[in-house]
Amino acid sequence: MKSAVNKGWRPLLVFILLLVMWEGAARLFDVPAWLLPLPTQIAEEAFTGYSLYVSHIMSTITLSATGYLVGITVGIVVAILLFRIPFLQQAFYPLLILSQNIPVIVLAPLLVIWFGFGMLPKVIVIVLVCFFPVTIAALDGFRQTDRDMLYYLKMIGASNRQIFWKLQWPHSLPSLFSGLKIAATYSVMGAVISEWLGANKGIGVYMTLASSSFKTDRVFVAIVLIMILSLTYFGIILAVEKSVLRWRSQGGKESDGSTHS
């Protein structure tokens, strides 16, 4: 806990300093609130307008969590299939990359045309942004298996299945978790984007309503909410990672991720 405080004060100081400069500059040049609200005004809106956005938050959490869980499941399953079946990897890897070259903003309206305004097209958008970092991270992890351990397993006659579940899978977990963390922050972004397209609830809706009526302070409240939500997801995954990868922090020497790369 103490070390968290020791490390945490620097970014916190920078953050506070930025806010102070913003507040000072906006006051000095008398910037109108509809153009750039003061941090104090945003904070005030966040407190007084609480009832306006609280239901939107719940909706976004449900949407992004659903999308995230489906997305990482798809990501992990795709990674395992591509890795275990080389033919699939050759056939589908380019397609996988291509799928990431279509901007979500372009794809989302199409999904609405195909699937309507329900939950499904929104979840698909989140799955599309979430699965990719997970798949790539898991595949990297599978490929970077330690040679000595692999050789040992082969010498004692382990089957490919045993090699995968006893070596490649656990060995890929540190790498997989970095993918899961990236996907966690993407999932919130994906949820907000999909809500812009047509939803009756969600932070994305709150944001659209606010910007179309020039309630700029509320737009900033929405931004802050998105940040808090992303950070919370990130923190949850970090906590899961710590408990799953306990072996990495045990003992005197911290084994860093670069040992076998």
Partner 1 sequence: MGQLTLENLSKSYGLNHVLQDITLSVKEGEFVSIVGPSGSGKSTIFQLIGGLYTPDSGTISLDGSVLNNSRGYISYMPQSPALFPWRTVLQNVELSAEIAGTKQDRTKTLELIKSAGLSGYEDAYPNELSGGMKQRVSFIRSLNAPQSIICLDEPFSALDEFTRLEMQQWLLSIWETYKKSILFITHDIDEALFLSDRIIVLSDKPAVVKKEITVPFDRPRSEELLLSDPFLTLKREIYNLLRS
The contact set with partner 1 (CB under 8 A) reads 146, 148-149, 151-158, 162, 166-167, 170-171, 173, 245, 247-248, 250-253, 255
CB-nearer residue toward partner 1: 30 or 256: 256
d(CA 242, CA 131): 22
Q: Which of 195, 194, 181 is nearest to 245 (CA)?
A: 181
CB-nearer residue toward partner 1: 7 or 242: 242
Distance of closest approach, residue 73 Cβ to partner 1, in angstroms: 22
CB-nearer residue toward partner 1: 171 or 215: 171
Distance of closest approach, residue 240 Cβ to partner 1, in angstroms: 15
CB-nearer residue toward partner 1: 26 or 76: 76
CB-nearer residue toward partner 1: 94 or 252: 252
d(CA 20, CA 94): 48
Query: Helix 203-212 to helix 50-84 angle, to the nearest 10 degrees?
Result: 130
Distance of closest approach, residue 259 Cβ to partner 1, in angstroms: 9
CB-nearer residue toward partner 1: 28 or 156: 156
The first and second tokens of residue 259, run together, are 């040992």
Distance of closest approach, residue 258 Cβ to partner 1, in angstroms: 14
The first and second tokens of residue 122, run together, are 């929104």
CA dihedral sign, ordered 249, 253, 258, 261: negative
Distance of closest approach, residue 255 Cβ to partner 1, in angstroms: 5
Q: The tokens 């966040």 sit on which residue?
A: 46
Distance of closest approach, residue 162 Cβ to partner 1, in angstroms: 6
